[in-house]
Structure formats: C-alpha cells, structure tokens
Amino acid sequence: MVSREVHRQLMWNRLIAVVEEQALTLVRTSFSTSVREAGDLSAGVFDSQGRLIAQAVTGTPGHVNTMAASVTHFMDDIGLDAMYEGDVYVTNDPWKATGHLHDITVTTPVFIDDQLIGFFASTSHVVDIGGRGYGPDANEVFEEGIRIPIMKWAERGQLNDDLVNIVRCNVREPDQVVGDIHGLAASNETGRRRLLAMLDEFELTDLVELTEFIFDRTERAISSALVDVPNGVYCNSMDVDGYDATVHLAVTLTVTDDGMHADFAGTSSTSRFGINVPVVYAQAYFTYGMLVALAPELPNNFASLAPFTVSAPPGVILNAIDPDPVSVRHVIGHFVTDLCLGAIAHAVPERIPAEGAGALWNFQASARSADPEHNPLAPVELLMFNSGGSGARPTLDGLTATAFPSGVMTMSTEATEQIGPIVIWRKEIRENSGGAGCFRGGLGQIIEVGAVDGYHLEFSAMFDRVDNPARGREGGGDGAPGRVYLDDGSPFRSKGKQTIPPDRRLILELPGGGGFGDPSDRATEAQENDKKQGYVS
C-alpha cells in the first residue's frame, strides 16, 4: 500500500512533468528565435484562486515571477461568471503582465464538469509588437506598440477573428506574432489535457488537496531557509548607465520573522525614455535574487514567493506608472537582483557573488534595403540575445558569457543568420574582461556583426555597463566595462536607434563580472589555467 505522503509526492512529480511538457510545446511551436533558441518564456499551472502551483524549469524570472501575479488580473477583468470551457485569454499590458508590450501572456481556464479548477498560463517574447519597434527611444507607452487589454483570444473554442486582424494589422511580422500567440494557446492546451488525464488517473476532481500539500511543504521550507538571515535593515546602492544620464538605484531591505521587504526609495526618477520598470518586474528580480541566495533548491510557487514584498514611491524608475515608456525595462530591471544581493551581503556575505554584467545585450535590428529604389528587398526584423560575464562567487569563478539573472540562453550564430540578412563575423570570449580576485569574474564576449550585401541595419541599442562596470566584492576587482563601436573605430551610442551603414560592421565588447576576494590569494594553478585558456593576457 502506497502511503498518502508518497502518493502526494508522485502527484507533485507528475505536475512538474505536465508543466514541462507545456513549456516544451511552446518551444516547439514558437515562430520566434527568442523562444525556440533562447528559452525566453514561462509556463505554469495555477489553482482556481489564481495562485501559482508549479512552473516549468524552462523560463526566465522576469516572465515566471510576473506571470505569477498576472492570473488574478485575468480573473478580475474577464470575471469568473464569463469564463467558459474552450476559452483562451490574452494580454500584453505592461502593468498586468510582464512589464512591457513585447511579451504576450496567454491564460486558459481548466474545468471539470463545469467547475473551474484552475488555469494554465504562458508567456513569451515576440519579435515585434509595432510602434517604434523594440528599443528605448519612445517617450510614452503609446509609441511602443499595440497594447492588448485583457481579452478573449477565443471563446468556447471559437477564435476571435476581429482581435487576430487587429494584431495582424499593427505589427511588422504578423505571421510570427499571431503564430506565437497560437503557440502560447497550444502550450496551455497541452497542459490542460495532461492535467485532466493526471487527475483522472489519481481519481481527483480538483487540485485543492494537492495544492495544500505543495504550499504547506514549501512554506515550511522557505521559513527554514530565512532563519539563516538575521533580522535587521540592510541597504545598498549602485549606479548604472541609464539612457542620457546615470541612474542611481537604491534599496532598503528589511528582514523580519515574516519575510523580506525591499523598498526602492532613493532610486532615480523615471526617465523620459523607455528604460523604466513597472514595479511588478522589479519585484520579480528581487524575489529571484533572494531565492537563489537563500533557497536555491526550492520550487517557485505562491508559497515561496509570498514572503518577499516590495514598495517604491510612484515616479521612481523602479515603479513606472502608466503611460511611462517601458519597452526595454530589462536594461534597468535586471540590475535589481545584484542591487538586492548587495544589501543582503551585509548579513550573509559567504553566499553572495560579486556584481555581474547584469542586463542582457540584446541585438535588435531592422534589416532594410540599402537601395530601395533600384534594389527593393523585403524588410526583416532580427533579434539576438547576448550576455556578458557573471560575478565571481565566494568559492568559484564567475560564469563566462552567461545570462544572470535572466537565465536565457544565447542564440546560436547559425540560427540567427538563418532568419535574416545578417552575418556574424566574430563571436569569441573577451580576454581580460573578468574582474581579478581570489575567484575571477566571468568574462564577456566580443561579437562583430554586419548586414549581407544589399541591406543595411537600423539598429536599436540597449546596452549598459559601458560607463559603470560591475563591482568586485571582498577586495575583488571590477569587471571590464562594455564597448560599442563600428569596425572603422567610429563610436556608437550604447542606447537608441542608429544606422549601421552597408559597408560597416558593428563590434560589441560585452562587460565582464566583478572578482571576489583578494587577487593575491588566487591559486597558482588557476592563474596558469587563465593564461593557458586565453582568459587573461
């Protein structure tokens, strides 16, 4: 006879398998390389109250942790009495989903005998959403693309053709965008079918008992993990590049028996450009940082997220208010993790790494004909994710060319060149870019790109750590700052839309992570290996 405890654990394992299959369905059906190559997505199952029960391992904190708060918005705006079997709901509202218009969130209700038992939700980044295109230049959210309020993509299995047509007519890549929304709906449907089969196998008619088991176990585990952090108030601040002026980020972290609260008072005011961050996105990366440092083995769900709360005065850059521009909110939002880890380092220094490159170096370009009058060529939207080095850890070197905290994978050169008229001439580890230390910071990379003959690239730069490199910790050296320039030496701005001429290439030198500990304490073998591998000259 299988014990009740073992029976529940089996169901939990099956539930993880369900959401993993949900996520893999999204990867397989996605039109965008950002999803199928980089894993820029999230997928999860929720109970009938809109609480996250389980998430797929594949995904990013910015998607998962914001999606965890979004399902209740769908419930409020659609209304439980207007939800039916066969429905599919959609939005990209920055303040009710993931913080900017380029992410589409789709939610699907699950019924058994006309009784709502839960939801599946998924999110992915789309290559284009109209407006100015993916970049920081807008001054209001209205300029950044089409904004889809929470609506029914399908009702009782019937597709909302009017909404589909509105989306198609407002984006540059209609087949990709509409195809990606269908992919999100398909992933949710996969999850729904697998869940119903699982419940039938275990002779259950709802998720209540399993949800209570998961939340109870998680709550006890997170409470145990937080005991290691002494109660108190911990502060940290950091400067990052911003758009046209340095941005100051500040946090006051209060630890109590009940959890942790991050207050971002003292942070710079919102920018007139699209680097502002809705507070839900800031909370996502604060929570992620704390879980990574204190409870890395715990799953993400309602119970593990609940102890972590945030606040920020309206009008600071980490609490953007509608209609502030927010298109590239990740450029500032990704630094929230290092900002908050720096605060908690005062309490648990043995667990906290040095600062890293932080924000992704996204390559977003519109390929256009260099001579449209005599050689008209079809326009193509291109997107490629790239990462600098992460900060050195208290007992290990930093990771090279690795996205932390976003967790997305770098797209392969071959996949990127396949989708559009672009050549990646060089992609290599950047020598000497990791901060020195007992443990060395992760290295950045050098990427050289240009258009194929007949095209030029309209390029939206969204890079940081050019003027403010990652700081070392406990005596470690700073990582190397980033650089952006053309192959003839011409300078290139780190933010904003610019043109790469047809006969020129763009060179990106991505920043490195900070070092940890006194460089004189670095092991001789490690120093020799650094030189042998070409990490240092």
Please report the DSSP string for 200-248 in residue order: HHTT-S-SHHHHHHHHHHHHHHHHHHHTTSPSEEEEEEEEE--SSS-EE
> In this structure, what DSSP letter does residue 472 have?
P
Do 325 and 363 lie in a common domain? no
Do 108 and 236 lie in a common domain? no
Give residue 419's pLDDT band: very low, low, confident or very high (50, 70, 90): confident
C-alpha 47/C-alpha 70 separation (Å) is 13
Three-state DSSP at 384 gives: strand
The per-residue pLDDT for range 409-418, each reduced to its tens digit, is 888 899 899 9
Which of residues 295, 319, 351 is at a domain's end?
351
Spatial contact of 511 and 482, defined as CB atoms under 8 Å apart: yes
Angle, alpha carbons 436-439-440 (nearest 5°)? 45
In a domain, 220, yes or no: no
Do 166 and 269 lie in a common domain? no
Do 359 and 380 lie in a common domain? yes
Which tokens is 209 given?
């008992």
Instruction: Look up tokens 């990582």; give the residue.
Output: 479
Q: What percent of the chain has pLDDT over 70?
A: 100
Which tokens is 49 given?
């109250």
C-alpha 67/C-alpha 283 separation (Å) is 12
The total number of residues shown for the chain amounts to: 537
Which tokens is 441 given?
């910071």
Which tokens is 436 given?
């020195």
Mean pLDDT, to the nearest integer, of 230-258?
97
Position 109 pLDDT exceeds 70 = yes
C-alpha 238/C-alpha 507 separation (Å) is 27
C-alpha 184/C-alpha 91 separation (Å) is 12
| Number of domains present in the structure of the chain | 3
User: CA distances (Å), 45 to each of 9, 14, 15, 114, 173, in order?
Assistant: 17, 12, 9, 19, 30
In a domain, 215, yes or no: no
In a domain, 415, yes or no: yes
Which tokens is 128 given?
């284009």
The per-residue pLDDT for range 276-312, each reduced to its tens digit, is 999 999 999 999 999 999 999 999 999 999 999 999 9
Do 317 and 359 lie in a common domain? no
Do 243 and 283 lie in a common domain? yes
Which of residues 296, 321, 351 is at a domain's end?
351
In a domain, 212, yes or no: no
Do 479 and 371 lie in a common domain? yes
**Alpha-carbon torsion, ordered 196, 125, 400, 296, to 10 deg:** -40
The per-residue pLDDT for range 181-237, each reduced to its tens digit, is 999 999 999 999 999 999 999 999 999 999 999 999 999 999 999 998 999 999 999
Q: 318: domain range? A: 228-351
Spatial contact of 99 and 278, defined as CB atoms under 8 Å apart: yes
Give residue 397's pLDDT band: very low, low, confident or very high (50, 70, 90): very high
C-alpha 464/C-alpha 271 separation (Å) is 15
Instruction: Render 416-467 in DSSP notation, one character per residue.
Output: HHHHSSEEEEEEEE-TT-SPPSSBPPPP-EEEEEEEPTTEEEEEEEE--SSS
Which of residues 322, 351, 380 is at a domain's end?
351
Do 330 and 363 lie in a common domain? no
The per-residue pLDDT for range 110-144, each reduced to its tens digit, is 999 999 999 999 999 999 999 999 999 999 999 99
In a domain, 500, yes or no: yes
In a domain, 414, yes or no: yes
In a domain, 223, yes or no: no
Do 244 and 255 lie in a common domain? yes
In a domain, 222, yes or no: no
Do 346 and 364 lie in a common domain? no
Stated pTM of the model: 0.96
Mean pLDDT, to the nearest integer, of 426-452?
97
Position 2 pLDDT exceeds 80 = no
Give residue 59's pLDDT band: very low, low, confident or very high (50, 70, 90): confident
Do 328 and 445 lie in a common domain? no
First to last CA, the chain: 64
Give residue 38's pLDDT band: very low, low, confident or very high (50, 70, 90): confident
C-alpha 391/C-alpha 443 separation (Å) is 9
Do 277 and 398 lie in a common domain? no
